[in-house]
Structure 1
Amino acid sequence: MNILKKTLNLIVLLTLSTQAQIVKDTLYTNDYYGRSVDRESVEEKYFIVIDKGGKEDGEIAIYEKQGNRLIGKGIGHLENNRLVYQGELVINPYKKNKPIVFYHGENGVLERVKTSDFFTDKEYVMEFKNKDPFHGEVVYSEGSSVIYTKLIQGKYTKTIEVNQADKDNYQVGIYNEEGSLVKKEYVDKQKGIYYEVTYKDCCPVDGTDVGLLKYRGFIVDNVQTYKAGEVVAGESFYSNGQVKQKTEIIGTEKIEETFDKQGNLLGTYRHSFSGDQLIIQREGTYYYFGYGEDRDRITEIMVYKDNKRVKREEVLSQIRGGIHKSVTYYNEYEGIDKIVYYDKENQLISTLNYQHYSPYQGTEYTDNEIVTYQNGKKTDYTKFYYLNNQVFEQHIGNQSTFYDKQGNVIGKASYHIDERGRYKAYSGTVYEIYLNALLNQYRYKDGVLEYRGEYQRNSEESNEDYLKEEVFLVNGIKSKEVQYHKKSHKPKKISYYIPSGSSYRLDRVISYDQEGKEIGTYNYQTKTGTKVLYYTDVDVRSIEKYEDDKLLHRKYYSPKEGNTILFGDDLNAGYYLQSEIDYFKEGTFYDQDGQVLSKAIFKDGRPYDGTIYKNSYGNWQVTPYKQGNKDGVEMIYDKYVKPAYLSEKFYYTKGQLTKKEGFKKEKLISEKHYKDGQVHGIDAEYKLNGDIVYKMEYKEGKPYQGEKLQYYYDYSRLLTYDKGKLIRIDYNQVDENNNYSILIAKDLIDNNRVNRTIYKPNGDFYCKYSLLDYQLDGTCVYYEDNSPKYTASFEKGEFISGTVLFFAPIKDDYYGRWNKEEPTTYTKLQLEGNKIVYQIYDLATNELDYSFSGKIEKANKRLDPFMNQAEIKYSDLYGLTKMNSMFNSLY
């Protein structure tokens, strides 16, 4: 379903109705989710103009930037910085097509799309559900293809992909009634070509599958023939249609032939493999090709002889020093013997000899570096910017010079060789890059690091790097750290440190706003001053004033509605002053428009009287205080002060919590009562329609009468109490709708005895057993078709008679220690009188792996080695899943 949703090109525009950010009534965008791009971006495709703002519907005009061509019109309005379409939205992006019409219902929700046949103008209608295609037919263009798709009640029934230039050249996907692909057909009537392949579980099974290059003229890239799910033959093609490579599998041998564009054989490669596809024999020459526009070019040639790699020829993607290709020769142990480099005219340029698997003498060329070795050691090297001939670092002897992308010198450093033969910076300035971006800067003196600077890109599209952080060191110990604002590149925070032995401790921090103005200094020794805290980006979260570690005053800034930090999508929503508090006098709380929500009295650093508004990232809390205590109803919202986001209510009387309520969609879904700090009274959960999920009466913090539901990762427990005693536990597993509705086990509890029943997911009995003080006691019955199949008797944990199935630990190492891994077998033990049968079965196949039968001569079963090994606990009893081990803890 997601494939169809993503390939419908015009859905890109549709999603603007719920996802896009509007900037000055004009939106520039180029991605599926409608996120805005820079006005001058070369990638942008569309912009949208709103004729009328507010909730009054107005005309929406949609243009294609190139040529300012009008491609669509609709009606809608802006709502909370969202564009909401109403009714029809008509778009015509394809010159050969009739318009595509989107129909929107309430709140701009897409209901259906009408499209027209590329060849016949026949109209198709596709209904949508939850923003996804659901029922009907649709046709759309993608690259050189016209794609037809039909769905019935959310399930695919057929897809057809047609060559735009030739309607008699197409590929068909056929689906079963479950919506799974079962067959693909490829047809080219003019060339008389027909292929078909069957599918199972989304994988080819029998026939020939065709791989197409949709964006290059509906070209067949390759065909592969399958038999019983395995590839037995295949061909790939050049862009001119000539066979590039031909593959055939005969038994355990794979033969691959490679041809040039004129059809001449270039080489043959054979390899034999074992049943698990492990290659065991190699012979011949194998050719590798590039991708995309480079798919016709040979990029690498590998030669094998007598099952050993002897030569590798590679065409380098970046030409350094005139090098076009390299040829690597291998010794008899397949280690590199030497690498020889050639120019485009195949003239020898350099030879790099290896010794003991490492470069020894000569010059090495890679995509981004040229290195010269003498007697196994680096002497000179040159590093380049990524995919760029511009030099980044030139190292000669023990000296390196670093350059920016314009060729200007930005640093020099001297090196020495350490005891392991590696170059280490000794003095000067060293730079590191990642791809084309500056990453780090280091400054050394007499081998000791004095400075480190960390850089960051402004954005993925920008080529500009900015200094993100600087660290200054004295005798190798950090003394100062400077962090910078991302937008203004001015200092954001300067931290000073005091040496402490071989480490350091924080002394004081000075904070600045984006214009470089100081906004606070905090001394960590006296714990006095102004401390500035930030959000995950560069924006200020709070400015706090302290004296002797006592908070005196705080300004708190909250994300505006729509800000990503509160799970919105408006990147430019920003922040606002949410509260300003004098903790010994008064606090004032604001909304995002700057209007006062409330004022409250503070005493001795705590709220005393009034209503407090607090934002804690995703939660918005509104709390009333009287005489220093919470008093009244505390409201918790998921986002801001909106009834639709109400999450919880807490009821307080003079600081004592008396009741807690939970809400969803403004509906009461839970309540819990308290007295003297303990749960006391009703604890209940409700469905949205008001039906009771569970209801329990508590007394002084303990369950007394009713039911209590507890949720776990993939199951729930419903505990039933009667006058303070736990009498029953029902275990439920989640169903396909994620509801805890499948009863899988039930415990009936009477003092220290538990009678447990385990059910199959369809509701049938699986087994029943009884426990006394956590030990098997009484009968254990296994069922088949709800009728008893095996029965065993236990007494205080001891197996007495009958048949029992269990997972037995096996002593499987030299010292006889138990195997702690997941069981792969289960044990069936039968005991009737003095006759014993001990059998072990494979858990996956249910096949018998081991069997023993005999007689017990004496009555003391504890001395029997089989009975002694079969120490059976209820948690080891065999189950369909791991029901018993899941419920080890009874209550």
Structure 2
Amino acid sequence: MKKLFALTLFAFLLNISVFSQEKIYFDENWEKTTQDKMEYYRQTEPKGKLILIKDYYKDGTLQMEGLASDATPQSEVYDGKVTWYTREGKTLSFSTYSKGKQVGPTQSFDAKGRLLEDVTYSKDGSFTGKTFTYKDIENFVYFNSATVYESPEVYKMIIYDDDIKGIRYETSTDKAGNSETKYYGDKGKSIGSYSSTSTNNGVIVEYYYNPMKVSKIEKYKNGSIVESTIFGENGKVLQEEKKNKKDGYKTTYDESGKKIGNLIYKLSSEGEYLTPYEGEDYQLSYNFLQFSTIEVYKNGSRILNKEFNETGKLFSEKTLKDDAVQEIKYYNDNGSLKSSIIYKDGLPYSGTLYETNLEEQYKDGVLIHSKVFSETGKIQSEKKFNAAKNTYESTIYNDKGSILYTYIQSLNEDSSFSAQIVQYINGKPANKSVIKNEIIQSGKIKFKTDYVTKEIERSGKWIILKVYDANGKLVQDSKISAESEQDDTNYSKQTSITEDILLSSNL
């Protein structure tokens, strides 16, 4: 009898030993795999009524350990404290569970061992505690933050530099979603606050980061900005603005503190609001590092507008009279004159005009040459005036610089697109078509939209429309009455051809 009991006990212990040595292998996504492809592996063993789970990195370093009532991969039901570790053996995080539900304290740490989360969960799913983020200049994070939770709905977030009691701002949110932000300057001195429940009055502050400094202070009264101060990174005032019910001013300084401009505000002729009246209005870029525009006013009229590029170089200088443009001068980065254009009756008349991705040349009020460029500077299209034929000859290019379309338009063309088009495929003329008021009159054309490619062909009184999906599969083959497409009341035209469609096509 004793011998039988001993054999039974030995078999039971052997089963436990074998069970504890069982390994499950996982790939990098924690999907089950074979030993030769594994990145992690798991060993389990019974601990009373629970199961102790231990996960390991490929090299045998412990990755996680914790108790569970069910150790099924991807469906574990944890019970108690579960801890995760880095490859170096440091604690990465731990959480506490009760029957698979997160209840109790949880903490997590970053690669440097700094606390990221220190939160306690309740049975109802709510939590209290703190979370943190830290400066990481390499990843473009320029400030620290700490969020203190009284509950998931009631919390305070603090954005700070190095000292959480120093320069900072902190936003408190209540259960109703209302918020109040308090702003602090050097050494934690209070500047003011702004509340979502009292948006008509208060203070809003903006900051530079790395290191944190005040960049702008705005004071609100009855919903309007009554005082604004902008500071340079050196702490000196760049611009100060004050307004009251009757008048106001804006004064601008250079980085050394020298006054360079002053603008006076006066009530509008209707007496409803303040408008620029006399002096120089300096507008700073979004980061306050350079000027974006300077506008000069005299007796309430704008007489000069200067625009600067993203590097702070003067780009254009616009002269105005009675708010109508008279002349625009354009400059190179070295300050030399690039071109100029004269206006008549508010329209370009003679010279070269530059706008975003656009260059236009005018002579005696007629556009004689224009170019459109992509964001990378490659030419997308150009249009030339043929004086002998009184027509425009246009060319559209693809991203590689190859010709897609050429077309001819009458100078006296109305607002609807009409043209004689030649389409090129692989650099050679392929299709010809005539378009009048956006409707094909003869020939065939093919173009690409955002989602499909259309092939449109005129056949007598009919328009043949073929539509191909992104994979080149024919998804529509229709025969449409040309008369119905030319009906101006038809707002669902399928075969309209516009200049914008050709410009956006990239076959």
- Please report the TM-score for the alignment, with normalisation by the length of structure 1: 0.39
Determine if the alignment matches structure 1 residue 388 to structure 2 residue 369.
Answer: no
Report whether the alignment pairs 1:267 with 2:257.
Answer: no
Q: Distance in 2 between matches of 1:261 and 1:84?
A: 62
The answer (yes or no) to whether the contact 1:112–1:127 under 8 Å persists in 2 is: yes
Q: Is the 8 A contact 2:105 2:118 kept in 1?
A: no
Show CA shifts across 1:661-680 (max 9, x none): xxxxxxxxxxxxxxxxxxxx
Pick from 166, 169, 177: which aligns with 2:167?
169
Deviation at 1:240, TM superposition (A): 3.7
Secondary structure of 2:280's aligned partner:
strand
**Cα separation, partners in 2 of 1:258 and 1:496, compared to 1, 3 Å:** same
Aligned to 1:712: none
SS class of match (1:345): coil
Q: Distance in 2 between matches of 1:111 and 1:456?
A: 52
Provide the rounded CA distance (Å) in 2 between the counterparts of 1:210 and 1:134: 31
CA contact (8 A) 1:429 1:442 kept: yes
Quote the residue 1:350 is aligned against.
339
Change (3 A) 1:442 1:235: farther
**Aligned residue in 2 for 1:291:** 286
- The 8 Å contact of residues 92 and 100 in structure 1, kept in 2 or not, is answered as no
The 5-angstrom pairing of residues 45-84 of structure 1 reads none
Which residue is 2:154 aligned to?
156
Per the alignment, residue 377 of structure 1 pairs with 366
CA distance in 2, matches of 1:324, 1:424: 40
Residue in 2 that maps onto 1:127: 121
- Secondary structure of the structure 2 residue equivalent to 1:429: strand
Does residue 502 in structure 1 map to residue 487 in structure 2? no
Task: Give the conservation status (yes or no) of the 8 Å contact 1:115–1:139.
Answer: no
Query: Does the aligned pair in 2 maintain the 1:125–1:137 contact within 8 Å?
Result: yes
Structure 1: distance between partners of 2:448 and 2:307 = 36
Q: Percent sequence identity over matched residues? A: 17
Counterparts in 2 of 1:101-250, with a 5 A limit? 101=94, 113-115=106-108, 124-127=118-121, 134-141=127-134, 143-156=141-154, 158-164=156-162, 168-173=166-171, 180-182=178-180, 184-189=182-187, 193-197=189-193, 199=195, 201=197, 203=199, 205-206=201-202, 208-213=203-208, 216-226=210-220, 231-250=225-244
Q: Which residue of structure 2 aligns with residue 493 of structure 1?
A: 475
Deviation at 1:301, TM superposition (A): 1.3
CA distance in 2, matches of 1:141, 1:493: 53
Alpha carbons of structure 1 residues 456 and 423: separation in structure 2 relative to 1, 3 Å: closer
Alignment of 1:452-851 (within 5 A): 452-456=446-450, 468-474=453-459, 477-484=462-469, 486=470, 489-497=471-479, 500=481, 502-503=483-484
TM superposition shift of 1:246: 1.4
Shift of 1:150: 2.4
How far off is 1:423 after superposition? 7.8
* Structure 2 residue aligned with 1:325: 315
Deviations 1:512-557 (A, max 9, x none): xxxxxxxxxxxxxxxxxxxxxxxxxxxxxxxxxxxxxxxxxxxxxx
Alpha-carbon separation, structure 2, partners of 1:269 and 1:57: 75
The one-letter amino acid of 2:150's match is: I
Cα distance in 1 between the residues matched to 2:74 and 2:431: 49
- Say if 2:300 is the partner of 1:307: yes
**2-side partners of 1:134 and 1:277: how far apart?**
51
Contact 1:104 1:112 (8 Å CA) reproduced? no
The residue aligned with 1:406 is 400
Give the 3-state SS of the residue equivalent to 1:502 in structure 2: helix
Looking at structure 2, the residues matched to 375 and 107 of structure 1 have their Cα atoms a distance apart, in angstroms, of 81
Q: How far is 1:205 from its partner?
A: 3.4
Q: Distance in 1 between matches of 2:447 and 2:124?
A: 49
Letter in 2 for 1:236: I
TM-score normalised by L of structure 2: 0.65
Q: 1:412 to 1:262 in 2, by over 3 A?
A: same
| Separation in structure 1 between the aligned mates of residue 272 and residue 98 of structure 2, nearest angstrom | 55
Checking the alignment, whether the CA contact within 8 Å between 1:413 and 1:426 is kept in structure 2 is yes
Residue 361 (structure 1) aligned to one of 344, 350, 355: 350
Give the letter aligned to residue 196 of structure 1.
Answer: G
Q: Any conservation in 1 of the 2:185–2:214 contact (CA below 8 Å)?
A: no
Q: Provide the C-alpha distance between the structure 2 equivalents of 1:236 and 1:220, rounded to a whole number of angstroms.
A: 8
Gap regions ≥5 residues in structure 2: 1-25, 30-37, 43-50, 136-140, 386-391, 486-507
Contact 2:219-2:227 within 8 A present in 1 as well: yes
Letter in 2 for 1:335: A
Whole-Å separation in 1 of the counterparts to 2:384 and 2:240:
49
Equivalent pair of 2:116/2:131 in contact (CA under 8 Å): no
Distance 1:303 1:211, change over 3 A: same
Could you tell me whether the CA contact under 8 Å between 1:416 and 1:423 is conserved in 2?
A: no
Distance 1:327 1:85, change over 3 A: farther
Give per-residue Cα distances to partners, 1:477-498, cap 9 Å, x unaligned. Answer: 42131322x3xx232424142x
Determine if contact 2:241/2:249 at 8 Å carries over to the other structure: yes
2:166 alignment partner, SS class: strand
Over 3 Å counting, the alpha-carbon distance change for 1:420 and 1:186 in structure 2 is same
Secondary structure of 2:134 counterpart? strand
The 3-state SS of whatever aligns with 1:304 is: strand
1:84 touches 1:107 (CA, 8 Å); kept in 2?
no
- The residue identity in structure 2 corresponding to 1:255 is Y
In structure 2, how many angstroms separate the alpha carbons of the residues matched to 1:356 and 1:89?
A: 76
CA contact (8 A) 2:167 2:213 kept: no
Is the contact between residue 370 and residue 382 of structure 1 (CA under 8 Å) also seen in structure 2?
yes
Deviation at 1:312, TM superposition (A): 0.9
CA RMSD in angstroms comes to 4.8
Contact 1:411–1:429 under 8 Å retained in 2: yes
In the alignment, is the contact (CA less than 8 A) between 2:103 and 2:120 conserved in 1?
Answer: no
SS in 2 for 1:456: coil
In structure 2, C-alpha distance between the alignment counterparts of 1:326 and 1:278, rounded to whole Å: 30
- Deviations along 1:759-816, one digit per CA (max 9) or x if unpaired, are xxxxxxxxxxxxxxxxxxxxxxxxxxxxxxxxxxxxxxxxxxxxxxxxxxxxxxxxxx
Secondary structure at the residue paired with 1:261?
A: coil
Larger Rg: 1
Q: Secondary structure at the match of 2:333?
A: coil
Deviation at 1:60, TM superposition (A): 8.0
For residues 417 and 350 of structure 1, the distance between their equivalents in structure 2, rounded to whole angstroms, comes to 25
How far apart, in 2, do the equivalents of 1:343 and 1:282 lie? 31
Would you say how many aligned residue pairs link Structure 1 and Structure 2? 412
TM superposition shift of 1:180: 4.1
Residue in structure 2 matching 1:335, options 294, 307, 324: 324
1:357 alignment partner AA: G
Separation in 2, partners of 1:282, 1:476: 63
Alpha-carbon shift at residue 278 of structure 1 (Å): 2.9
Unaligned runs of 5+ in 1: 1-23, 28-47, 63-69, 432-440, 458-466, 505-891
* Counterpart contact for 1:197–1:204, Cα < 8 Å: no
- Cα deviation, 1:731-769, whole Å, max 9, x if unaligned, reads xxxxxxxxxxxxxxxxxxxxxxxxxxxxxxxxxxxxxxx
Whether contact under 8 Å (2:116, 2:133) holds in the other structure is no
2:102–2:121: 8 Å Cα contact kept in structure 1?
no
Indicate if the aligned counterparts of 2:403 and 2:424 stay in contact, CA closer than 8 A.
Answer: no
Distance 2:55 2:371 in 1: 56
Alignment counterpart, residue 451 of structure 1, candidates 426, 445, 462: 445
Match status 1:282 vs 2:282: no
